[in-house]
Amino acid sequence: MTDQSQRDDRDQSATRRCVLLCAGALGVTGALTACSTAFVPYDANGAGSAPSMAATSSGGAGGGMGSAATMPSGTGAKKGSAKKGTAKSKMTGTLLGMAADIPVGGGKIYTAAKIVVTQPSKGEYKAFSAICTHVGCLCNQVADGTINCPCHGSKFKITDGSVVTGPAPTALAAKTITVTNGKILLQ
């Protein structure tokens, strides 16, 4: 074999190795990108990213768990309160569920949106972050006039989200909702 043919063989081998290594690196990069997820840090005010539509299980009387669906966004009522709409009102916001599903003196937790909606008295609807202000657990029950956290026993009033029983240090963050045509919309 001549010196020239040996150099040609080495160059072709080096080129093949480079192509194979580059293809492998590209495949690994694609796999890592496909498998990665965004990290959303805990925010005591209940802010952050939440799935806009997901299936969840239903709970018992007074403290159910629900799902949310997205509708076009718009302006809302005063924070933590619900504004009743009319048949002519334009529905805007994230559809949480039906007002008829919220028992008087109770509430319902929408896990996908991390929101709890309560009805302290007939026709009065309130909404709060369902994230406990103690360590960030998701409240899982509304019973006996309180929103309850399963992690350490914190309880919050359904009327204003204030702490009834600790260790939670602060109230649940109020959220803005509207009730339009019997539908509860998160603003």
Assess whether 133 and 181 both reside in one domain: yes
CA distance 170 to 45: 10
pLDDT tens-place string over residues 126-172: 999 999 999 999 999 999 999 999 999 999 999 999 999 989 999 99
Q: Is the pLDDT of residue 183 over 50?
A: yes
Assess whether 171 and 136 both reside in one domain: yes
Judge whether 58 and 72 are in contact, CB under 8 Å: no
On average, the pLDDT of the chain sits at 71
pLDDT tens-place string over residues 25-67: 655 555 444 444 333 333 344 443 333 333 333 333 344 444 3
pTM of full prediction above 0.75? no
Q: Is residue 81 part of a domain?
A: yes
- Cβ count within 10 A of residue 31: 10
Question: 40, exposed or middle or buried, with CB in 10 Å at 0-12, 13-18, 19+?
Answer: exposed
Assess whether 32 and 72 both reside in one domain: no
Number of domains into which the chain is organized: 2
Structural domain of 94 = 63-186
Assess whether 19 and 70 both reside in one domain: no
**Of residues 95, 101, 113, 96, the one with CA closest to residue 62:** 101
Assess whether 77 and 27 both reside in one domain: no
Q: pLDDT over 90 for what percent of the chain?
A: 48
Q: Is residue 43 part of a domain?
A: no
Assess whether 29 and 68 both reside in one domain: no
Assess whether 25 and 76 both reside in one domain: no
* CATH number of the domain bearing residue 154: 2.102.10.10
Assess whether 4 and 69 both reside in one domain: no
What are the phi and psi torsion angles at 7 (to 5°)? -65, -40
